[in-house]
Amino acid sequence: MSDLNIEIDEEVDITNVVCPVTFVKAKVALEELDDGQVLKIHLNDGEPVQNVPRSLKDEGHQILKLIDNEDGTYDLIVRKVEE
Amino acid sequence: MATDYATLKKGGFMRQKQKNNFSLRLRVVGGQMTAQQLAKVAEVADKFGHGYVHFTSRQGVEIPFIKLDDIDAVKDALAEGDVKPGVCGPRVRTITACQGSEVCPNGCIDTEALAVELDARYFGRDLPHKFKFGITGCLNNCLKAEENDVGIKGGVKVEWQADKCIQCGLCEKACRVNAINVVDGKIEIDRSKCNYCGRCAFGCPTDAYTTTPGYVVSFGGLFGNRISKGEAVIPFIDNHDLLLKVCDAAIQWFDDNANPSERFKYTIERVGEEKFNQAIRDAYNNG
């Protein structure tokens, strides 16, 4: 699956905010999208990468991939799933 | 007639500084009361007390300034609202709990149901000293399990399902004790490090972990004059009936071995930790 070329519809950077605004910012970005569109979330190591993916999953969205940028940040690829 | 303070204390009436005034401790299970109970408590506090209640550190509710002469009238009034008096003194105290898996997204076990069950099983049982149970739903430990004589903490045992895994590595990141390593496309779990928090499974995008809920049970916690953290004997108990057997064994061991006015932790230290641990392991293995 990690070899798949996923088309990104929108990007959001949450490295400049701290918990719980990280999740809020990601959630707001997802709300702007249509069902099925894909968001790339740029986030920090530590609490954000530990908590944000789980919170998005709990909201019903589909996590597709986590890319380690090897600079203390990650890119999380999420597909919006509307309820 | 002399006032029988011991009986009053057993019935939840705590003597106040003010002569013939008592702070009445109420029976609360798992930190919950119904709206009906609360309404009755408010009414009684207004009519017989000073119009307020005190919330104790262990989820109890007390109505201060109840007069000695009103005790029976207060009990009758509370009974109308299905409110029962609590206990103080050398016996099993309020069973405390967080909201658990029925309400909290992090909850691994149904703490409230367990609190009701332990309350029915042990509450008020006379023992050599006070004895406290606390139940917390997950490793976040909002209810501070290890402060209690017996602390019960919910967790999950995880198993990786290779066929569902997309190799995203989130579980490795989510693990706070570095028990997970992705090696050559396979997940390796270091069981000696795993603390049963379940963050790997809960964070997994594809639910590539199976989870078995269970309990981490600690013994001998103290948080008063002396502070001591309760310690687990069995790393993880994944069976409800075994949990009850282990609790039965712990409380019985305390009843059999403790000197009067000796807290559980001191009994364990005096008699020997290994002897106590063996009693718990026997209950677990022969359960």
Per CATH, which fold does B5-80 belong to? Alpha-Beta Plaits (3.30.70)
Residue A1 clears pLDDT 50, i.e. is over it: no
Tell me the pLDDT of chain B (287 aa) as tens digits. 567 888 888 889 999 999 999 999 999 999 999 999 999 999 999 999 999 999 999 999 999 999 999 999 999 999 999 999 999 999 999 999 999 999 998 999 999 999 999 999 999 999 999 999 999 999 999 999 999 999 999 999 999 999 999 988 999 999 999 999 998 889 999 999 999 999 999 999 999 999 999 999 999 999 999 999 999 999 999 999 999 999 999 999 999 999 999 999 999 999 999 999 999 999 999 96
Q: Under CATH, which architecture does the B96-155+214-285 domain have?
A: 2-Layer Sandwich (3.30)
Q: Are the C-beta atoms of residues B174 and B189 closer than 8 Å to each other?
A: no
The whole-angstrom separation of Cα A76 and Cα B273 is 48
Question: Which residue from A1, A50, A58 is facing B166, i.e. has the nearest CB?
Answer: A1
Residue B193: the pLDDT is 97
Residue A2 clears pLDDT 50, i.e. is over it: no
> Rounded to 5 degrees, what angle do the CA atoms A46, A51, A53 make?
110
Query: How many Cβ pairs closer than 8 A exist between chain A and B?
Result: 39
CA distance A33 to chain B (A): 20
Residue of A52, A54, A80 to mutate for B, most B C-beta atoms under 10 A: A54
Residue A57: the pLDDT is 93
Q: Are the C-beta atoms of residues B138 and B155 closer than 8 Å to each other?
A: yes
Q: Give which of B204, B197, B202 is closest to B187, Cα–Cα.
A: B204
Domains of chain A (ranges, CATH numbers):
10-79 (3.30.110.40)
Asked if B174 lies within 8 A of A54 by C-beta distance, the reply is yes
Predicted complex ipTM exceeds 0.85: no
Asked if B173 lies within 8 A of A63 by C-beta distance, the reply is no
Asked if B203 lies within 8 A of A50 by C-beta distance, the reply is yes
Q: Give which of B1, B25, B21 is closest to B11, Cα–Cα.
A: B25
CATH 3.30.70.3340 placement within chain B: 5-80
CATH 3.30.413.10 placement within chain B: 96-155+214-285
Range A17-35 average pLDDT: 94
Question: Which residue from B105, B169, B202 is facing A66, i.e. has the nearest CB?
Answer: B169
